Amino acid sequence: MASVELKNVCKSFGTVEVLRDVNLALEGGEFVVFVGPSGCGKSTLLRLIAGLEDISDGDLMIDGQRMNDVLPAKRGISMVFQSYALYPHMTVFENMAFGLEQAKLSSDEIKARIAQAADMLQISDYMERKPRQLSGGQRQRVAIGRAITRQPRVFLFDEPLSNLDAALRVDTRLEIAALHKRLADTTMIYVTHDQVEAMTLADRIVVLNAGNVEQVGTPLELYARPASQFVAGFIGSPR
Ligand code: ADP
Ligand code: MG
């Protein structure tokens, strides 16, 4: 189980400081949700953890090991994006196999991992389709399935439901909750600006505001004892 620790992490783009002295200690196997308004730095924080952006200052530790200079592919992290990020010219199977082939797994191992993930996400029937022949919900399930095949120690989700319609959002949210139960050893970090998602999925919630951590706590703690007006407004405000 992989713990994730951020120590005084700062991120600037040019002269614009987007994250300021972020300190967080996430336990292995935890489901942590980052919430906060648009533009507060949620995606940037995920991208720093994934290694898709460089950390300007501070340290990222996974399992006690400093990760700042470790290549994304060597971090043991999978990420699911709002926009699915599937390769349009490849079939579902090829999309899922691609990263595993790059990692030089045997074809038997690749088939076994894909079959297991496809079964978990109920996408076995779509293996020969191209992404454009799938609905949004099916595409996101493929993207989640592909992420699972990498057997990550840390699973990152960046607003995975925001392109789905309301009914599918509920279904997919329940699927992600089930996935967390099933992959109990995998640390999950989930970004959303939706309070319902945060309150229902999280073991702990991290509230971000303009590049700062406002509060960290269980959904109940944040609801019952918000540390600031901002948190109270965010957790308590009507949707
Ligand atoms: P969120 O995901 O919470 O909506 P982001 O992390 O995407 O917020 O963005 C935080 C801030 O950083 C925003 O002001 C955004 O404009 C800025 N930002 C993000 N990525 C870049 C970039 N590559 N270059 C310059 N500014 C960026
Ligand atoms: Mg974002």
pLDDT tens figures, 177-214: 999 999 999 999 999 988 889 999 999 999 999 999 99
- For residue 167, which amino acid is it? A
Q: What is the mean pLDDT of residues 99-103?
A: 93
Which pLDDT belongs to residue 238?
47
- With the most atoms of ligand 1 within 8 angstroms of its CB, the residue from 35, 44, 208 to mutate is 44
Angle between helices 166-182 and 136-149 (to 10 degrees): 20
Mean pLDDT for the chain?
A: 94
Cross-strand partners of 7: 59
Q: How far apart are the first and last CA of the chain?
A: 35
Query: Is the minimum distance from the CB of 42 to ligand 1 under 6 angstroms?
Result: yes
Instruction: Evaluate whether 172 touches 137 at the Cβ level (below 8 Å).
Output: yes
ipTM over 0.95: yes
The residue whose CA is least distant from atom 16 of ligand 1 is: 39
Place of tokens 């389709």: 129
Query: Which bound ligand lies closest to the C-alpha atom of 18?
Result: 1
- For residue 235, which amino acid is it? I
| Structure tokens given for 178 | 């089930």
Q: Determine the length of the chain.
A: 239
| Closest atom of ligand 1 to CA, residue 40 | 3
Instruction: Evaluate whether 148 touches 183 at the Cβ level (below 8 Å).
Output: yes
The model's confidence at residue 235, banded by pLDDT at 50, 70 and 90, is confident
Does 77 score more than 90 pLDDT? Answer: yes
Give 10-39 pLDDT, tens digit per residue: 999 999 999 999 999 999 999 999 999 999
Which pLDDT belongs to residue 130?
97
Which pLDDT belongs to residue 165?
87
Buried b (16+ CB within 10 A) or exposed e, 59-77: ebebeeeebeeeeeeebbb
pTM: 0.93
Cross-strand partners of 32: 189, 204
Contacts with 123 (C-beta within 8 Å, 6 or more apart), sequence order: 92, 138, 141, 142, 145
| Closest atom of ligand 1 to CA, residue 44 | 6
- What's the 11 CA to ligand 1 centre distance in angstroms? 10
Rounded CA separation 167/239 (Å): 16
- What's the 49 CA to ligand 2 centre distance in angstroms? 14
Q: What is the mean pLDDT of residues 86-100?
A: 96
Rounded CA separation 111/2 (Å): 26
Query: Is the minimum distance from the CB of 40 to ligand 1 under 6 angstroms?
Result: yes
